Amino acid sequence: MARHCEPIPEPIGLRPATSITLDCRHSSGRQEIMTTALVTGASRGIGLELARKLTARRTQVIATCREPSPELSSLDLLVESGVEMHNLESISSLGERLRGTPIDILIHNAGVLVADDFESLDLQDLRLQFEVNALGPLMLTRHLRSNLGRGSKVIIITSLMGSIADNGSGGFYGYRMSKAAVNMAGVSLARDLKATGVSVLLVHPGYVRTRMTGYNGTTEPSDSAKGILEQIDRLTLETSGRFVRMNGDELPW
């Protein structure tokens, strides 16, 4: 069963009920250090599958969401609910609650797509996508920077739709622009965090059957999550800053 935490207005550090056990006793009596991963937007879709798969490989998962879904609540992980990626106060409050908790894998997965074209542009929708898809991952990384140590990995679930080179069909201004922006943020983060031993990867998850695509697509969320985790395992400081498909193929910017 998931353990639930509510957002709190004042920074009080990690409450005992939510503390992460990093140092576990194995059935053999041997001590085992667990990996801790934080996944944003884990209520459904790709984020839920990433959380499920990470939990299955004995990673301590901190799953953030706005509202926990029954599927997320049924998993053995720590749920941080009320986390709004368009809201900087919500992001900074999460950072305060997790102060002192080492994070080995930080996965920026939460995302929003509002279909638009040149005729239907809406400033509020453009801003929302920019905030959730681009500013949210950047600001959350900044608020969690002291949680990241040598060997930690920052993963940004981006999109091929953010590739300028691949844009052959136009439209989707808000989504494309926000994903191109987060790609740039990811490269700057890779450069800036290298000296601290933190690597960064930008991953396109495929065309995945989730609510975002109206459950259309060529890939199941669990297959996408499997591919993403393989790329996370392969990531090193030397390959930091790459933009890849979930099968590892390098993508054009």
Contacts to ligand NAP by CB under 6 A: 41, 43-47, 65-67, 84-86, 109-112, 132, 157, 159, 204-205, 207-208, 210-213, 217
> 185: buried, middle or exposed (CB in 10 Å: 19+, 13-18, 0-12)?
buried
CB of 13 to ligand NAP, least distance (A): 23
CB of 97 to ligand NAP, least distance (A): 16
CB of 227 to ligand NAP, least distance (A): 12
3-state DSSP of the chain:
CCEEECCCCCCCCCCHHHCCCCEEECCCCCEEECCEEEECCCCCHHHHHHHHHHHHCCCEEEEECCCCCHHHHCCCCEEECCCCCCCHHHHHHHHHHCCCCCEEEEEECCCCCCCCCCCCCCHHHHHHHHHHHHHHHHHHHHHCHHHEEEEEEEEEECCHHHCCCCCCCCCCHHHHHHHHHHHHHHHHHHHHHHHHCCEEEEEECCCECCHHHCCCCCECHHHHHHHHHHHHHHCCCCCCCEEEECCCCECCC
Given the complex with ligand NAP, which of 132 and 180 has the nearer CB atom? 132
Given the complex with ligand NAP, which of 196 and 253 has the nearer CB atom? 253
CB of 47 to ligand NAP, least distance (A): 5
Given the complex with ligand NAP, which of 108 and 145 has the nearer CB atom? 108
Contact status, residue 85 vs residue 91, Cβ threshold 8 Å = yes
Given the complex with ligand NAP, which of 45 and 174 has the nearer CB atom? 45
CB of 78 to ligand NAP, least distance (A): 16
Given the complex with ligand NAP, which of 126 and 237 has the nearer CB atom? 126
Given the complex with ligand NAP, which of 85 and 180 has the nearer CB atom? 85
CB of 200 to ligand NAP, least distance (A): 16
CB of 220 to ligand NAP, least distance (A): 11
Given the complex with ligand NAP, which of 187 and 237 has the nearer CB atom? 187
Contact status, residue 86 vs residue 136, Cβ threshold 8 Å = yes
